[in-house]
Amino acid sequence: MDARTCLGQERARFFGAGPSLHLPLDWKVKEESVRRSDERYLVRIGEAAAAVGMTTKTLRFYEDRGLLPAASRAANGYRSYGDETVTRLDFIRRSRGAGLTLAQISDILHIRDAGRAPCTHVSDLLATQLTDLDWQIAELVALRSTVARFHDTAAAADPAACDSERICSYL
């Protein structure tokens, strides 16, 4: 799958089949109601954050970390974001949901920004993530077994018979 196909599928999943951003009716679209072919619709930071279920503070943090390009600024200094930023934020949110770190997400975005499809890299990261999760689950199962054994000992013991030379006989 080439870069355009991968990106096109992601845009279509988030925004629908059309190339335009489908904004709720109560969103405030920036000043000009007439759109020239080289312009795009812009939304304010709060509207972009709400679209992907994030806070404005999170968007500013991602911008500071380089995960988002610097927002354009309106005359009043407010940040303005286009549909490509909302798509990028949705990708970041889904990546965090898959347990990827911000550094890993940054790597993926750099690959995409260089014009290449990051799909193989993402597949490798997810395979590593699955291996790590399997290891963590095995560790948790072993920990649960140990805690259950200590709990069984504590439940069956008589607190009055506790050895005063030890901090606690249950552990």
Dump pLDDT digits (tens) for 31-70. 443 343 444 678 888 999 999 999 999 999 999 999 998 8
**What is the residue range of 48's domain?**
3-117
Predicted pLDDT at 158: 84
**Residue 102 counted as domain residue:** yes
Helix (H), strand (E) at residue 9: helix 3-15
Q: Give the integer Cα–Cα distance in Å for 12 and 18.
A: 7
Predicted pLDDT at 161: 81
- If asked whether residues 48 and 109 sit together in one domain, one would say yes
- If asked whether residues 17 and 45 sit together in one domain, one would say yes
Q: What is the CATH number of the domain that holds 29?
A: 1.10.1660.10
- If asked whether residues 27 and 58 sit together in one domain, one would say yes
How many Cβ atoms sit within 10 Å of the Cβ of residue 56? 15
How many Cβ atoms sit within 10 Å of the Cβ of residue 32? 10
**Residue 122 counted as domain residue:** no
**Residue 168 counted as domain residue:** no
Q: Give the integer Cα–Cα distance in Å for 68 and 85.
A: 7
**Residue 51 counted as domain residue:** yes
Q: Give the integer Cα–Cα distance in Å for 20 and 10.
A: 13
- 14-35: average pLDDT: 48
- If asked whether residues 73 and 141 sit together in one domain, one would say no
* 84 closest CA partner among 10, 31, 17: 10
Entry pTM: 0.66
Q: Is pLDDT above 50 for 150?
A: yes
- If asked whether residues 25 and 107 sit together in one domain, one would say yes
